[in-house]
Chain A
Amino acid sequence: MLGYRELPFEVMQTGEFYYELLTSGRLKIDKSKKIKEPVTMQDPCNIIRRAGAAEKFRYIVNATCEDFRDMKPNREHNFCCNAGGGLAALSNWAAHKAKGNRVKAEQIQATGAKIVITPCHNCSTGIKDVIKIWNLGLKNMFFDQLLVNTMEIPEELKIV
């Protein structure tokens, strides 16, 4: 087993790795494919409040979307999606969770966005529940979906 103090490798979240790919120019975004609809982003508690990846995630969203609107409050002050802490598994408590989620619904609605970007799986579950139960009529989108839709595909990889 490896020691914990000095790991011979880096540990990061997928979003942080995508940020590296974009800033180093390994992954290129096709500007014509950028998302035109207004978008907002859910800040995941563990990755933002505890690991501080807020700006990196904003970089990804701004690189792939034309109209990004922040929720208020945002970054490390953002509210949880109400699916964190293992609550995502509790689908039989969905109504109870949604009741405790009004703040998030109001927050999302105030941005006027049409798409909520969720960088974390738990947030994805939580935000889907909020959208459904509070009838917000929005879509939610994952980082990988965002990138696959907007990235440049090198010519030599395409199947003609």
Chain B
Amino acid sequence: MAVKNAVKSAVKEKVISKDFKEYIRDVNPDVGLDETIKRLTPEKIEKTIKAVIGGRSSRIKAVMNTCIHCGLCAEACQWYLSNDKDPTYAPVAKMRMTIWEMIKRNGKVDAEFIKQCARIVFTECNICHRCSMYCPYGLDITFIIGMVRRICFLLGVIPQRQLDQAQAHIVTLNQVWLSQNDWLDVLQWQEEEVGADFKDLRVPIDRDGAEVMWLPLGAEPKTGTYHIERTAKIMYAAGVNWTLPSKDVWDSSSMSMFVRDFVTMQRIVRGLYDNAARLRIKKMVLTE
């Protein structure tokens, strides 16, 4: 009960940004944001921002100078519409409060500012591309948001659960820390499960020259095994010659893409293609 009350009282407090007085939000404790900013130094922040923006500053400046603040992107954003048209939720505001300010101050921003940026780009934007679609100048707002995500990622300031998945991808190339043993074990277990419903059903692993290589979402073998079971049934009923790879990479999701971890993104795609080449499949079917 005491915990519940503590959570309630914490929620009543508001965070008011010291850089932007209009930016008022509920307190939402997250170790990934609150603790990690303590490690930052002004030099580190400036160095990271300059490294990421680097040669691309002209592309960002083109966006900054072209934007006429017409507000069409705001009307396209479900965050803005759902929060009673609070202007701080508008996509253009999300850019202004993050990368425009970083450029304006030449990278000289403090840790508290980085935390606010992380909150904006990681918890208030889905990179759904709707704002970019409605922008009359076709400005790629999601590219800018992604760039801010990369800055925050390199500084280690990411909401904890996203950071955990991103790190899982770095280490295991799947989002749930699943080892190859467990992966194979789950597939064989699923084969036994579905065997009760269908005659001679297989969950084929590493079948050479199969028509389809199906790749699940990382969470499926861990918490959603029924998806593997159902897919096996569909493939079997349709008579598809399908397979799953035994080796990494088998996870079709990529948190690395959401945090713009380019190195791991590349490792994931390379792993998927290597599996496809090794098994000489015709179609790669991905869940995500």
Contact = CB atoms under 8 A, between A and B. Distances in A.
Interface string B22-36: 000010101000000
A151 interface: yes
Contacts of B59: none
Interface in B164-196: 164-165, 196
Interface in A67-85: 76-77, 79-85
B124 A49 contact: no
Interface in A30-50: 45, 49-50
Nearest to B175: A89
Interface of B: 11, 26, 28, 30, 78-79, 81-83, 89, 122-130, 133, 159-162, 164-165, 196-201, 212, 214, 217, 219, 224, 227, 230-231, 233-234, 236-240, 253, 255, 258-259, 270, 273-274, 276-277, 281-288
Contacts, number: 171
Contacts of A9: 276, 281-284
Contact of B78 (A2, A7, A100, A145): A100
Given A102-B82, A151-B234, 8 more contacts: A11-B283, A13-B285, A13-B286, A21-B238, A21-B240, A80-B128, A93-B28, A93-B159
Residue among B128, B212, B219, B224 with max Cβ neighbours from chain A (10 Å):
B128
B240 to A, nearest CB: 7
B258 A14 contact: no
Contacts of A17: 212, 283, 285
Interface of A: 1-2, 7-14, 17-18, 21, 26-27, 45, 49-50, 76-77, 79-87, 89-93, 95-97, 99-104, 120-122, 142, 144-145, 147-148, 151-154, 156-159
Contact of A156 (B28, B199, B273): B199
B161 A90 contact: yes
Contact of B30 (A80, A83, A85, A93): A93
A1 B283 contact: no
A6 to B, nearest CB: 12
A75 B233 CA distance: 29
Question: Nearest 4 A-B pairs (CB), nearest first?
Answer: A86-B258, A80-B128, A85-B127, A102-B82
A57 B11 CA distance: 40
A92 B30 contact: yes
B288 A86 contact: no
B288 A12 contact: no
15 contacts: A9-B282, A10-B283, A12-B284, A13-B287, A18-B234, A45-B128, A49-B129, A86-B122, A89-B255, A92-B161, A96-B28, A102-B81, A142-B230, A147-B230, A148-B233
Contacts of A77: 130
Given A93-B28, A103-B82, A157 B126 contact: no
